[in-house]
Amino acid sequence: MDIKATSKQTRDALQLGIYRVINPFVKLLIRMGVTPNTVTTIGFLGNLAAAVVIVIAGYGAARTGTVDWSLVTWAGALIIGFSLFDMLDGQVARLGGMSSTFGAMYDSVLDRYCELATLGGVAYYLIQTGSFAGAVIAFVALTGSIMVSYVRARAEGLGLECKIGFMQRPERVVVTSVATLATGITGQISGYQPGADGFNPDMILVIAMTVIAIFANLTAIARINHCRKLLAGRK
């Protein structure tokens, strides 16, 4: 069995399923005259709001010694909700005939800012709630996430196609948003607070950051090796 081919087929099938769901809304946006760049900007602002919310949760925990888990829940919900705009903008561009080189560049740049904000916010939150190791792992996850995109951009600048790897942006968004949401909900249900006995919901975030840290950096390394082979084949 070709694992890479199966993985790509699964991702494509999921993407098509999502497009069937969002296309009616996409067509509505087009009729309203909403541009792809506007959709991209809204998604960015929403992710920025999510980062601010989780930073506030971390700041409050450091000051009071207690975590407002509802803020963590809201941060996760915001990431999930506004990350959908990352798919909407591309569909608005395609179905509305508004694709442009600048739009593609603008979308890519704001995607990086979104990841810097959300993963940076998670790192700040973890260090403020007493998980220094978790914060370091989140920083490594952030580094890997940026490098995955950088290697692809650098490769495309050299005329190479480089889209391989498991932990691409959609996977990273899903892991981050679901883990943040699960952390907040678990904290609200359990009533756990720092220093108490029992399961610390922040471990959900730490585990998620570990997954991203490992697989994002492996994806970046795999892309570098892929480019090396392509360039060697040109000689």
pLDDT tens by residue, the chain, 235 residues:
454 555 566 666 666 766 777 778 888 888 888 898 999 999 999 999 999 999 999 999 999 999 999 999 999 999 998 888 877 888 888 888 888 889 888 998 999 999 999 999 999 999 999 999 999 999 999 999 999 999 998 998 888 888 888 888 888 998 999 999 999 999 999 999 988 888 999 999 999 999 999 999 999 999 999 999 888 877 6
CATH of the domain at 227: 1.20.120.1760
Residue with tokens 């570098």: 224
pLDDT value at position 118? 95
pLDDT value at position 19? 72
The backbone region for 160, taken as left when phi is positive above 0, alpha when psi lies in -120 to 50, beta otherwise, is beta
- What number of other Cβ atoms are within 10 A of residue 174's Cβ? 14
The answer as to whether 219 is a domain residue is yes
DSSP letter for each residue of 135-156: HHHHHHHHHHHHHHHHHHHHHH
CB 36 within 8 A of CB 96: yes
Nearest of 71, 104, 76, 89 to residue 22 by alpha carbon? 89
pLDDT value at position 62? 93
CB 89 within 8 A of CB 39: yes
pLDDT value at position 84? 81
The answer as to whether 164 is a domain residue is yes
pLDDT value at position 15? 64
pLDDT value at position 162? 85
The answer as to whether 145 is a domain residue is yes
In degrees and rounded to multiples of 5, residue 130 shows phi and psi of 95, 10
The answer as to whether 4 is a domain residue is no
Nearest of 78, 68, 56, 77 to residue 187 by alpha carbon? 68
Rounded to two decimals, the pTM is 0.87
- Cα 55 to Cα 65: distance, rounded to the nearest angstrom: 15
pLDDT value at position 123? 96
Residue with tokens 């709630």: 129
The answer as to whether 3 is a domain residue is no
Query: Computed over its alpha carbons, how large is the radius of gyration of the chain?
Result: 19
The answer as to whether 6 is a domain residue is no
pLDDT value at position 189? 95
| Burial tier of 20 (Cβ tally within 10 Å: 0-12, 13-18, 19+) | exposed
Nearest of 141, 75, 77, 154 to residue 108 by alpha carbon? 154
The answer as to whether 92 is a domain residue is yes
Alpha helices in the chain (DSSP H): 3-31, 36-64, 69-83, 85-95, 101-128, 132-157, 169-190, 202-234
Helices 169-190 and 202-234: crossing angle, nearest 10°?
Answer: 170
Domain count, the chain: 1
Query: What is the domain range of residue 20?
Result: 13-234
The answer as to whether 1 is a domain residue is no
pLDDT value at position 144? 94
